Every structure is written in structure tokens, then in C-alpha cells.
């Protein structure tokens, strides 16, 4: 890996929209640990920056990400896998509280697909392909490629993707709910920016609370989830944005969100 090459490119795309671009083209954006760390750091930074209201994660126009870096696995044994730092980076990425949108062109494999599932909404170019091919290597997914995938697309589709290692098309990923929107090849990033701009223009606290409540589906039984949802809902009633949103509706004008 070249020390000169920035692993992650960062660009402001529109008001409130930050684009983070995986940048290891020579290794098909394989999510080596330093790249995963850079992504976690960038999201921590974005979390603290009030000007950022939505983040897009993307790859190049040819590939999203080819999975974890297989070279890092060559020498790793059980002790190394158990003490791996990667789960801590994944937790930080998964715990990002602002809306996260993925823009995918080309291959989205293994850890790439696990990263996609950390995002709240995904836009894919029609030729994108999604897969969890880890069993081809005699291992299995380790960052949501069974636990999250099966909750998201159902047991049968997850079994097919993981046990057979078969990639699925963008249209199938959309039908399964893995991606939100399929667009023409090459248009994923611009469509994701459009989607992110719409989110960025909406009430930030409402976005955050709603994201947290929808994601709690994965963790909570229904009765506890309804309680969590009610708490998230109630907390918004102390916000300036709730007062502004309701007043703007009654005044028949656009709301001016402050995120407070």
C-alpha cells in the first residue's frame, strides 16, 4: 500500500452533504484495516461537524469495494481474529448517528456489502453486483454478512448469497430491500447526492431519532422497540425544530431547521 495515496477522499458535494470515497483502486477498494480506520475517523469527525447533515459513502465508478483485504488474512489465526481491532471500527461506523447513504457502482463484495448494510439508504448503478463470497475462501462473513444480511433480506436469500457465494444483481438487491434505488450505470453518485441533499434539508434531530428507532429493529423485541420509539418521539417535542416545523405548517411556509 502506497503511503502517498490517501485511502479515503473527502469532498463536500452540496450544502450539508459530505462524500467519503474509498480510494484503493489498485486493490479494488479492499477494506484494509487502515482504510476501515480512516472511514471510522472520518465519520467521527462528521458527527462532530454541525455543518454535515448527511454523509455518502462511495467507491469509484468501477467498484464499490472487493471486501476485506485478503492479504491481511494470510498469517492470521484464531487468536489474531479474536483480538482483531476491526470490530471496534465497525461499531463506530454502525453507530454513526446522522443519515448515511451508499452510492454503489460495480462490485460490492464481502466487507463492502457489510459496509453497504451500515448505510441507511443505498443507490446502485444497474450493473452493480452484491455478494458475500467469503465461503469461497473457507471462511465466512464476520461483520454483519450473516447477522445483518439475514435480517435485511431474509434467511433464504442470505443462505444463497453466503453458502453458494453467488452475487446478486442490482435489480435483485432492490427487490430484496438491500438497496433503495437502482439507477442507470454511472448515475449512482449523482442520484445519491440528490437523495442526500433532500435528507440534509430536513430536520436533523428528526432524521437522527428516526434512524435510531428504525435501526433498533435489529436489536429489540417489538414491545421494547415500541417503548424506544416512543422515547425517541417524545424527545423531539423539546426541540426548536418541532416548534418550527409545526408553526411553519400552520403558517403555510417552509420550515427553517436549526438542528436544535
Would you tell me which residues interact with ligand COA (CB under 6 A)? 27-28, 30, 66-71, 107, 109-110, 133-134, 136-137
Which residue, 71 or 156, has its beta carbon nearer to ligand COA? 71
Which residue, 110 or 125, has its beta carbon nearer to ligand COA? 110
Q: How far is the CB of 14 from ligand COA (least distance, A)?
A: 30
Cα dihedral 110→129→18→94 (10° resolution): -30
Asked whether the beta carbons of 168 and 129 are under 8 A apart, the reply is yes
Q: How far is the CB of 136 from ligand COA (least distance, A)?
A: 6
Q: How far is the CB of 79 from ligand COA (least distance, A)?
A: 19
The values of phi and psi at residue 254, to 5°, are -75, 150
Which residue, 78 or 250, has its beta carbon nearer to ligand COA? 78
Q: Are strands 181-183 and 121-125 parallel, antiparallel or unpaired?
A: parallel
Q: Give the residue at shortest CB distance from ligand COA.
A: 67
Which residue, 28 or 211, has its beta carbon nearer to ligand COA? 28
Q: How far is the CB of 134 from ligand COA (least distance, A)?
A: 5
Query: What are the start-end ranges of the E strands in the chain?
Result: 8-14, 17-22, 54-58, 63-65, 100-104, 107-109, 121-125, 129-131, 168-169, 181-183
Q: How far apart are CA 138 and CA 68, in angstroms?
A: 14
Amino acid at each position: 500500500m502506497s503511503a502517498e495515496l490517501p485511502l479515503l477522499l473527502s469532498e463536500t458535494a452540496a450544502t450539508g452533504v459530505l462524500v467519503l470515497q474509498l480510494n484503493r483502486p489498485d486493490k479494488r477498494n479492499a477494506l484494509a484495516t487502515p482504510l476501515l480506520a480512516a472511514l471510522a475517523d472520518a465519520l467521527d469527525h462528521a458527527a462532530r461537524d454541525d455543518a454535515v447533515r448527511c454523509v455518502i459513502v462511495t467507491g469509484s465508478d468501477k467498484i464499490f469495494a472487493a471486501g476485506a483485504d485478503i492479504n491481511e488474512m494470510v498469517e492470521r489465526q484464531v487468536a489474531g481474529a479474536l483480538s482483531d481491532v476491526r470490530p471496534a471500527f465497525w461499531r463506530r461506523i454502525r453507530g454513526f448517528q446522522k443519515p448515511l447513504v451508499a452510492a454503489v457502482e460495480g462490485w460490492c463484495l464481502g466487507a463492502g456489502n457489510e459496509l453497504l448494510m451500515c448505510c441507511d439508504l443505498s443507490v446502485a448503478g444497474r450493473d452493480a453486483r452484491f455478494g458475500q463470497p467469503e465461503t469461497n475462501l473457507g471462511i465466512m462473513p464476520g461483520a454483519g454478512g450473516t447477522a445483518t444480511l439475514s435480517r435485511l433480506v431474509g434467511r433464504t436469500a442470505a443462505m444463497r448469497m453466503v453458502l453458494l457465494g453467488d452475487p446478486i444483481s442490482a435489480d435483485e438487491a432492490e427487490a430484496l430491500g438491500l438497496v433503495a434505488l437502482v439507477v442507470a450505470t454511472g448515475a449512482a453518485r449523482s442520484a445519491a447526492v440528490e437523495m442526500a441533499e433532500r435528507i440534509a434539508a430536513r430536520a436533523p434531530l428528526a432524521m437522527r431519532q428516526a434512524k435510531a428507532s428504525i435501526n433498533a429493529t435489529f436489536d429489540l423485541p417489538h414491545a421494547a422497540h415500541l417503548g424506544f420509539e416512543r422515547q425517541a418521539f417524545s424527545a423531539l417535542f423539546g426541540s426548536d425544530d418541532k416548534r418550527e416545523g409545526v408553526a411553519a405548517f400552520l403558517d403555510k411556509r417552509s420550515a427553517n431547521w436549526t438542528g436544535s
